[in-house]
């Protein structure tokens, strides 16, 4: 058996507000839907359509609650031959061969807060002053429309083919990626 290498994980910050703000309302929707179902059943108005309508808040609340748990776990992991962006539902791998350059910029220069809607600006207020690494790519590993379906919009570079990775320990992540990418290149020689 091969020796399993440990990977380093860095939590993605754009998913944190989603997980934090939606978790409790979603959790409260579950008993509210069950209560609504119970009230309609005891009053004799329990047709299949009413039952489906009464359970809808429970199902929606459960789906949102599961999403918030998965969103809290969204992260970037560094492996020996690739980095993987783990979104709530779909991980996307980027081989070191695709990575061109890594730079660090202030998040507000990529996504100016004054250009955002007021609700979005308040929702992501912790991101605007952060320094974030950007990775220029030689190409995306799959169709861009498919990636936009799974990745948060703030993870795409707005002006070039690349990634923006807002994480807590960005300098550690950049050093880790550069080290692993160098080892990967030397291993190919």
pLDDT of residue 179: 93
Contacts of 145 (CB under 8 A, 6+ apart): none
pLDDT digits (tens, 9 = 90+) for 125-156: 888 889 999 999 999 999 999 999 999 999 99
pLDDT of residue 71: 92
First to last CA, the chain: 25
pLDDT digits (tens, 9 = 90+) for 34-49: 888 887 777 666 677 7
pLDDT of residue 3: 47
Q: How confident is the model at residue 107 (pLDDT cuts 50, 70, 90)?
A: very high
Q: What percent of the chain has pLDDT over 70?
A: 93
Q: Is 90 helix (H, G, I), strand (E, B) or coil?
A: coil
Q: What is the mean pLDDT of residues 165-178?
A: 93
Q: What is the CA radius of gyration of the chain?
A: 21
Q: Look up the pTM and report it.
A: 0.83
List 85's β-bridge partners, or say none: 76, 92
Question: Which one-letter DSSP state was computed for residue 5?
Answer: P
Question: How far is it, in rounded angstroms, from Cα 157 to Cα 151?
Answer: 12
Q: What percent of the chain has pLDDT over 90?
A: 57
Side-chain-facing half-sphere of 103: CA atoms under 13 Å: 12
């Amino acid at each position: 058996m091969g020796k399993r290498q440990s990977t380093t994980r860095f939590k993605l910050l754009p998913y944190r507000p989603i997980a934090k703000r939606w978790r409790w309302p979603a959790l409260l929707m579950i008993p509210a839907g069950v209560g609504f179902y119970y009230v309609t059943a005891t009053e004799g108005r329990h047709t299949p359509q009413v039952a489906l309508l009464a359970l809808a808040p429970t199902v929606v609340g459960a789906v949102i609650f599961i999403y918030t748990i998965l969103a809290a776990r969204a992260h970037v992991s560094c492996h020996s031959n690739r980095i993987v962006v783990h979104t709530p539902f779909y991980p996307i791998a980027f081989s070191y061969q695709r990575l061109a350059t890594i730079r660090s910029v202030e998040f507000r220069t990529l996504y100016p807060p004054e250009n955002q809607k007021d609700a979005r600006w308040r929702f992501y207020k912790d991101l605007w002053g952060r320094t974030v690494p950007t990775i220029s790519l030689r190409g995306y590993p799959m169709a861009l429309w498919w990636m936009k379906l799974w990745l948060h919009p703030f993870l795409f570079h707005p002006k070039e083919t690349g990634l923006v990775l807002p994480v807590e320990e960005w300098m550690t992540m950049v050093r880790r990626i550069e080290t692993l990418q160098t080892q990967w290149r030397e291993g190919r020689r």
